[in-house]
Amino acid sequence: MGKQDGMTYAPKGKPNQVVQPGEFLFAAIALDHGHIYGMCNGLIEAGGTLAAVYDPDPERVACFTDAYPSVRVASSENEILTDSSIHLIAAAAIPSERANLGIRSMEAGKDYFTDKTPFTSLEQLELAKAAVKRTGRKYMVYFSERLHVESAVYAGELISNGAIGDVIQVTGFGPHRLQADNRPEWFFQKDNYGGILCDIGSHQIEQFLFYAGCSDAQILQSKVANYANPFFPELEDYGDATLVGNTGATQFFKVDWHTPDGLSTWGDGRTFITGTKGTIELRKYVDVAREKSGDHLYLVNQDGEHHLSLQGKVGYPFFGELILDCIHRTERAMTQAHAFKAAELCLLAQQQAVHLTSRENVR
C-alpha cells in the first residue's frame, strides 16, 4: 500500500515468526478501514496464519483476497465466530461498530484485535471491560503510529534502557492528508468516527502513556475545529489537547487533516520526548526536504548528538508478542489496562473539547 494515503498505508517488515505455520490461526472481519492490511501483515510476519475473511461488501473482499490469495472467504460472520480453530479476530470496522464486534468475538471465545480508535463512547468502553472480565479474552488495539513504526519502537527501547532518564514531557504532531474524495461516507459522520481526538488523537495519548510510563492521566484542556471543510459540517479537521500523567509528566499534541499535496507521504508525523537526561525526536514517515524515507530518530544526551536511520533495522515485535500473549495468556505486547486507559482518555478529551467554529474564534 502507498504512502500517499494514510487510510491504505500498510507497513511490511521482516518475518519474525514466533509460531509454526498453522499453530496460530486468525481471521479478518470488517474491512471498512485499510488498516486491516497492516494488522494482517504484522500477524502473518510473526507466524500467524490468516485462515478466513468475512465482509458483507464483495468488492472489499475481492481486494483483500487479491492481497492474500490463500485466505478462505467465509459466508458469514457467524461462520468465523463458531470456528473453534480460530484464535483471534482482526477487525477494522466502522469505529462506532468496533465495540459490538469485539464483544461478539470475545463471547465466542476469540481474542479481539481492532484498529484504533477502539470505541466512540464511554458506554462502549464499559461494556467491553465487562466482556473482558466475563470471558477472559483480550481486547487489543492497533495503535499503529507506535506499534508499526520502527523509530517509535526503538525510542521505547532507548527510554527503557535509561538513555534520556525519566520522561517528563511528550509532544506529538499527527497531521494527516484528507483526500476527501477517497473517503467513505461514515468518515464524515461524527457518530460513526467519534471525533478527531477520539480517532487519530488516540495514537498520541497512547504514546504518551507508554513513553512516560503513566497508568493514568488528566485532560487539562482540549479543542477541536472545522477550519476548512464546510461541505462536511460534522468533520473535525483540527484538534489538540494537553494532559498531565500520574507520574507528573505532561503532554501536548495536535492532530489535523491538513497535510498539503506537496508532501511525499500522508503526514509528517513527529514525536518529541524530553527526559531528565536527554531528548528524542522521531521523524516517523519522512525527513522533510532531506530524505523521503521515514524512521529517523534524533537522540541528544550526555554522550552527544546522534542521528539514527532505522528503516528496516528494528522490526515490529508487537505482533509476535501479541500472538504469544494469546497462546500463553500473558501481557507482554500490551496490557489490557493500558489499551483501555488510552481509549478512555481520548474519549474524555473528545467529550471535554471546546469547539472552535472558525479561525475568528482564536483571535
**pLDDT of 247-296, one tens digit each?**
999 999 999 999 999 999 999 999 999 999 999 999 999 999 999 999 99
What average pLDDT does the segment 347-352 reach?
98
Q: Taking a C-beta distance cutoff of 8 angstroms, is the pair 253, 245 a contact?
A: no
Which cell is 329 given?
A: 495468556
Q: Taking a C-beta distance cutoff of 8 angstroms, is the pair 117, 96 a contact?
A: no
DSSP element (H, E) containing 1: none
Cβ-proximal residues to 8 (8 Å cutoff; 6+ apart), any chain: 1, 2, 34, 37
Cβ-proximal residues to 255 (8 Å cutoff; 6+ apart), any chain: 173, 174, 175, 176, 196, 197, 200, 201, 203, 204, 238, 239, 240
**pTM passes above 0.75:** yes
3-state secondary structure of 269: coil
pLDDT at 6: 58
pLDDT at 129 over 60: yes
| Percent above pLDDT 70 for the chain | 96
Distance between CA 294 and CA 149 in Å, rounded?
A: 9
pLDDT band of residue 361 (cuts 50, 70, 90) is very low
Instruction: Please report, as a single letter, which amino acid is at residue 339.
Output: A
How close are the terminal C-alpha atoms of the chain, in Å?
A: 41
3-state secondary structure of 291: strand
pLDDT band of residue 233 (cuts 50, 70, 90) is very high
What average pLDDT does the segment 126-150 reach?
98
Distance between CA 205 and CA 170 in Å, rounded?
A: 10
